[in-house]
Structure 1
Amino acid sequence: MDFVTSDGIKLYYERKGNGIPCLYLHGGPGYWSKSFQHYAGKYLEKNFDMIYLDQRGCGRSEYSLSKEYSLEKIINDIEELRIFLGIKEWYIIGHSFGGILAVNYAYYFPNRTIGLILSNVTLCMYYSFMHQINKGSEILGIEKPVIKKDDFKSFVDTFYFILKELLIKGDYFKLQFLEKENKKQLDLIDQSLQSDPNFQQYVFSSKEYFQDFTLLTKNIKKRVLVITGEFDDAIGPEHYLSFKFENIVIHKIKSSHHPYIENQIEFKNIIEDFIHKDYQK
């Protein structure tokens, strides 16, 4: 199904399941919602009225010809979709980069947010990319680079260099998966994935997205479930320690970056327990 934003961008979404409205925000930046729906939908749709959204410029949604991919615009897309669907309030599930969107939405629209479910999210891309640079250097067997924090260009260039070398060696999967077979299965789902390269380029060249959004967490009063992978080297397995939500529930799970693939039943049970406690009050 499609929804047209106020600036004329056609966004793709699917809505399935019964229960409490819940929006899923995918990672990337520049990924899509199809894989999460494939793996987690059959579990979550028993308790949630799930809405799976491909962000502007991502997956099955239209590209912005004007390259309008600002954080404010994407957050407004989410709120416009809520109004379009006639939903009073909803849970937000964010994965990876989607955590930045989820937390900003909850910050700006607290009265429309029941709670947050943050799975393997980064709330500070500088921290997470720096972790990838260091871990990637370890995998490659090279010296960890020294980067000045205020040298943004050098930081991004170094990240791309490490990423390229890991891809050449066939080792990039080690940052995101426990087993290479999981990556192969995901690649089959992603065969038709096409996203606007300008989306990722905009995010990676914008200091707006590299802000430390953990600073927002202390201002969010809603209940927050944080699921973190013990072996998640895409965001850093200790990144969650910097989150300062007032009402937080944390679950460490035996997985890397994709617990909805690698540990499906525990992932489902943690989320079910969280929402049931909300509605037993």
Structure 2
Amino acid sequence: MSKYQIVISDGFELKYCLKGYGKPIVVVIGSSIYYPRLFSDYLYKKFQFIFLDHRGFVKSSRALNLEDYTLDKVINDIETARQRLKLDQFIILGHSGHAFMAVEYAKQYPDYVQRVVLLNSAPTNSEERQRQSFSFFNETASSERKEHFGKDIVLLEEDIKRDPDRRFVHMCIRMGAQSFYDYTFNAAYMWNDVYTNMPIIDYLWGEAFGNINLIQSLAYVHKPVFIGLGRYDYLVGPVSLWNLIDNSYENVKKVVFEHSGHNPMFEEPHYFDQVLIEWFNETN
């Protein structure tokens, strides 16, 4: 059972969804509509999740300036929601680009964060890292995967021309062959009813996340950290980008899901649930 409510921060109406039961609280930053579709019912019996919008997934109530969508503003939104929900201690989870938000929040507000879960993010979204991921796909993907990707990606331009306000969504759908272990999987239904505020998303993904290196940032996070990566995640791979997370990061547990792309919680739910719960128990 899930329940939607709204917290207002700086004029943005951020929706959040409560789903699951259990004492531990997990705050998943991103879209409160999209992310509940990715986790298993079993996990909702072990944790209560709070799926929280950030302002990149809600309509603006005013004309926006650049200062309206800095990363610090997003972090302030999370803190506003924490205060509204009266959370004293919680786990913060960020998937893909939202991992940058999770780590930045944990750095700025360490007193409230018990643990940090980072899923399927590269250490940075710099242009150089994007080139590395592009080369990883070209050099290691199967010919069948590349062919399927080629057939889908040529349709992206027409998708965007027809519906430019959902450019981010169309891109995510058309890049499925780089996103999923099963490269034929069509994830379009996951994005139903998801609104995207493109100026905010463009800035965060295009600029803010390119100026952060999570490996360096994690040196300032002194809480247990779980990093989950998909072996076939061609969007932010290869997993070797995280090799600098070594024994000096004693608080970090890194797990590679061998039969997953960008969404191991959806692609390998049983194994994902098992290792996440084990990590939680180990660090309790």
TM-score (norm 1): 0.79
Correspondence 1:40 to 2:45: no
- C-alpha change, 1:166 and 1:133, in structure 2 (3 Å) is farther
- C-alpha change, 1:119 and 1:140, in structure 2 (3 Å) is closer
Please report how far the alpha carbon of residue 205 of structure 1 lies from its aligned counterpart in structure 2 after TM superposition.
4.3
Please report how far the alpha carbon of residue 103 of structure 1 lies from its aligned counterpart in structure 2 after TM superposition.
0.8
**Equivalent in the alignment of 2:59:** 62
| SS of the residue 2:104 aligns to | helix
Please report how far the alpha carbon of residue 218 of structure 1 lies from its aligned counterpart in structure 2 after TM superposition.
1.2
Please report how far the alpha carbon of residue 229 of structure 1 lies from its aligned counterpart in structure 2 after TM superposition.
1.0
Correspondence 1:192 to 2:193: yes
Please report how far the alpha carbon of residue 173 of structure 1 lies from its aligned counterpart in structure 2 after TM superposition.
2.1
Task: Give distance in 2, aligned partners of 1:109 and 1:82.
Answer: 11
- C-alpha change, 1:117 and 1:99, in structure 2 (3 Å) is same
Correspondence 1:10 to 2:13: yes
Task: Give distance in 2, aligned partners of 1:104 and 1:220.
Answer: 9
Among the aligned pairs, what percent are the same residue? 21
**Equivalent in the alignment of 1:21:** 25
Instruction: Summarize deviations over 1:210-243 as a string: whole Å, max 9, x none.
Output: 3323211112110111111111111112222233
Partner amino acid for 2:26? Answer: C
Correspondence 1:214 to 2:215: yes
Please report how far the alpha carbon of residue 111 of structure 1 lies from its aligned counterpart in structure 2 after TM superposition.
0.9
Task: Give distance in 2, aligned partners of 1:246 and 1:70.
Answer: 31
Instruction: Summarize deviations over 1:58-91 as a string: whole Å, max 9, x none.
Output: 1xx3336324111101011111100100110100
**Equivalent in the alignment of 2:273:** 268
Please report how far the alpha carbon of residue 36 of structure 1 lies from its aligned counterpart in structure 2 after TM superposition.
2.8
For residues 33-182 of structure 1, the aligned pairs below 5 Å read: 33-58=32-57, 61-63=58-60, 65-67=63-65, 68-126=68-126, 128-135=129-136, 167-168=153-154, 172-182=175-185
Q: Give the conservation status (yes or no) of the 8 Å contact 1:36–1:260.
A: no
Shifted more, 80-89 versus 243-252: the winner is 243-252
Please report how far the alpha carbon of residue 246 of structure 1 lies from its aligned counterpart in structure 2 after TM superposition.
3.7
| SS of the residue 1:34 aligns to | coil
Q: Give the conservation status (yes or no) of the 8 Å contact 1:120–1:232.
A: yes
Gaps of 5+ in 1: 27-31, 142-162
- Cα RMSD after superposing both structures: 2.6
Q: Give the conservation status (yes or no) of the 8 Å contact 1:217–1:243.
A: no
Partner amino acid for 2:203? Answer: Y
Q: Give the conservation status (yes or no) of the 8 Å contact 1:120–1:258.
A: yes
Please report how far the alpha carbon of residue 204 of structure 1 lies from its aligned counterpart in structure 2 after TM superposition.
4.3
- C-alpha change, 1:120 and 1:208, in structure 2 (3 Å) is closer
**For 2:282, which of 261, 277, 280 is the aligned residue?**
277
**For 2:253, which of 233, 249, 254 is the aligned residue?**
249
| SS of the residue 1:225 aligns to | strand
Q: Give the conservation status (yes or no) of the 8 Å contact 1:115–1:222.
A: yes
Q: Give the conservation status (yes or no) of the 8 Å contact 1:3–1:12.
A: yes
Q: Give the conservation status (yes or no) of the 8 Å contact 1:226–1:251.
A: yes
Q: Give the conservation status (yes or no) of the 8 Å contact 1:99–1:123.
A: no
Task: Give distance in 2, aligned partners of 1:225 and 1:208.
Answer: 20
Partner amino acid for 1:69? Answer: Y
- C-alpha change, 1:232 and 1:89, in structure 2 (3 Å) is same
Partner amino acid for 2:33? Answer: K
Please report how far the alpha carbon of residue 164 of structure 1 lies from its aligned counterpart in structure 2 after TM superposition.
9.9
Task: Give distance in 2, aligned partners of 1:125 and 1:188.
Answer: 26
Partner amino acid for 2:63? Answer: L
Gaps of 5+ in 2: 144-148, 157-173
